[in-house]
Structure formats: C-alpha cells, structure tokens
Amino acid sequence: MNRLNDLLGSLFGLGHIPFAPGTWGSLGAVALIYLISIVLPVTGIPLFLIITTILSLITADYFITTYGDDAPQFVMDEAAGQSVVFLFSGFQISQGDPIWILFLGFALFRLFDITKPLGVRRLEKLPGKYGILADDLLAGFYALTVLEIIKYSTETFF
C-alpha cells in the first residue's frame, strides 16, 4: 500500500525528480489534461480535478509521515491545482483550441503557486493535508482568472 501511495502521490514518480519536483508534477498534470481533453472533451477536466483532489487527500498522510510536512516529493496537489486552471476555460483540443493556452496556464499556475500571493500562503498554513492541497487550489483559481482575462483580451483585440 505504501508503494501505491508513493506512486500516486508523486504523480508516477515525477515528485522524485530532484530539481523542481512541483514544476515536473505540474507539467505532468498538463500532459494528462491534454490527453483527457482529447478523450473526454466535456467532462474530463472536472473529473480529473475530483480524482486528483481525492488522491491528494488520500495519499498526503503517507507523504507527511514518510517525508515530512509539505514534502516536495508529493505533487498530486499540484495536479489538482493545475486542473483548476482549465476547469472553466472550456479548453478542448478537439475544438481547435490553441496549445499555447496549456503552456500559459501551466506558467501562470507555477507563478501563483511559487509566489503565493493574496491568501495562498495563509491557506498553506491550514493543518496537514488540507493546507497542502488548499493553497494549490487557490493558486489554480488565480491562474484560471488571469488566463481567462488574457484569452478574452486576445479574442477582443485580435
């Protein structure tokens, strides 16, 4: 069971990459979001958010016990936060949406996740697995908001 927790919580080992595991976990999530948008264009991203949130809450205790609070190896929370970025964006590769939306959403999420502005740091201080997950979900919401403003601006002006 511990091996399964480690495999899932590290997003299939991406969290064990020694340099910038959170970035690798987010990038892995974006790759999965891309594939999901092809296979399940309407329901895929909401389902991915639900699954990654549940997996975060289930596997976080193992990582806290094994590696310590907010261990860098635990990146399932990044996957949940990254999915928020595309939750309401209507992103669908099958509808011809440009791939730059994925890369910009990735970059915006990492920016908000690393800098932790406007309450993100406060949520991080919630106890245990809830703080570990909540800050990423809020960072994802901020990235979603900025991404939608950019998309709207480019559609309006170009």
Burial 83-93 (b: 16+ CB within 10 A, else e): bbbbeebebbb
Average pLDDT over residues 4-33: 96
Give the tens place of pLDDT for each residue, 44-96. Answer: 999 999 999 999 999 999 999 999 988 999 999 999 999 999 987 666 665 66
Count of beta carbons in the 10 Å neighbourhood of residue 115? 12
pTM metric for this prediction: 0.92
Q: What is the pLDDT of residue 95?
A: 62
Q: Which two tokens stand for residue 68?
A: 């310590």
Count of beta carbons in the 10 Å neighbourhood of residue 54? 12
Q: What is the pLDDT of residue 85?
A: 95
Q: Which two tokens stand for residue 156?
A: 């309006």
Question: Which of the four pLDDT bands, split at 50, 70 and 90, describes residue 108?
Answer: very high
| Average confidence score pLDDT of the chain | 91
Give the span between the Cα atoms of 136 and 140, in whole angstroms.
6
User: Which residues are CB-neighbours of 22 under 8 A, at least 6 positions away?
Assistant: 72, 75, 78, 110, 113, 114
The answer, yes or no, to whether residue 40 has pLDDT greater than 70, is yes
Q: Which two tokens stand for residue 98?
A: 């440009």
Question: Which of the four pLDDT bands, split at 50, 70 and 90, describes residue 131?
Answer: very high
